[in-house]
Amino acid sequence: MVKRFIIAIDLGGTNFKCALLDSNLKIKAKSIFSTKSFANKEKLIAGIAAAINSFIFNLKLEKKNILGIGIGLPGPVDSAKGIVHFLPNIKGWKEVALKRILETKIKLPVFIDNDAKLMTLAEYSLGAAAGYKNVLCLTLGTGVGAGLILNEVLYRGNDNAAGELGHLPLNESGPFCGCGSQACLETYIGNAALIKAARKEFRADISLELVSQMAKAHQLKAIKFWNQIGVKLGLVLSGVVNLLNLDAIVIGGGVASSGKTLFASVKQTISKRAMSIQAKRVKVFKAKLGINAGLIGAGFLVKERLKS
């Protein structure tokens, strides 16, 4: 019997990861490339194609061993048609028919989707939210992306644009947001806002990793910093919990590693601010699959699409 694999790609603004997954979505091999080393969109697409081909070649595989390619992208994607609408953090991408372009180059089935949606599929199928029916899975980074599992399926919305948790308002007015609105959650807890707040609170060259280490070392000022972030996130989540009567919330991304304070504060805020039935129901978990969630989700996408 021919052994079959999936190639998964997780494209980020800084780098892209490429992995070989077996049919149980176990990662068998992995490479990382710098996204920024490619001068433009065409070169980046050629780089992705080259990464896939060299992966197959180096591991002495043939195309018949590969079920398909799954790709996660940091922006709005028409997953059904295989079109990338745009990428807020990678220049030059507008309405790119990535599926068609890559299938022509590589001669293998290609499936694409938004990265937060793929992370959600991964945490739901194999991670922290396994066994729960209604789940919000969010990732804290440059942006605050999220995906929703409702009644046991990924909820997409008509434009595959559901899940923009970072653009729920936290106040009627406040800091201006890249999306054109103001006071969006992302303007308070996106990485740029957090770094700005940390520099104001501590010193000019501090990193969020250092503030996390300080909190883990029980430094009061750092604990207070993460606590305040947790209250803001927890308040928006309370509203979502009231609206959707969720079973579980999974929090991933860099900031999720800041230590216990953030999670304690999110949980406490939900139990204080959400309605009693909803607050009692919902569990808050740290993401389990870490930096591999996007790759595993991309593999899940390939399996799901080839099944249907």
Residues that bind its own copies (CB under 8 A): 76, 85, 133-134, 146, 148, 150-151, 153, 155-165, 167-172, 179-182, 232, 235-236, 238-240, 242-247, 272-278, 281
| CA dist., res. 39 & res. 161, Å (int) | 28
Q: How far is the CB of 272 from its own copies (least distance, A)?
A: 7
180 vs 307, beta carbon nearer its own copies = 180
Q: Least distance (Å) from its own copies to the CB of residue 88? A: 11
For the bound state, the minimum distance from the C-beta of residue 242 to its own copies, rounded and expressed in Å, comes to: 4
Shortest Å, Cβ 160 to its own copies? 8
Three-point CA angle 232, 235, 238, nearest 5°? 150
Complex with its own copies: residue 53 or 268, whichever CB lies closer: 268
Q: Are 87 and 96 in contact (CB under 8 A)?
A: no
Beta carbon nearer to its own copies, 181 or 213: 181
The angle formed by the CA atoms of residues 112, 42 and 104, to the nearest 5 degrees, is 55
Whether 144 contacts 170, CB under 8 Å: no
CB-nearer residue toward its own copies: 153 or 306: 153
Which amino acid, 200? K
Minimum CB distance to its own copies, residue 236 (Å): 7
Phi, psi of 128 (to 5 degrees): -65, -25
Residues 6+ apart with CB under 8 A from 272: none
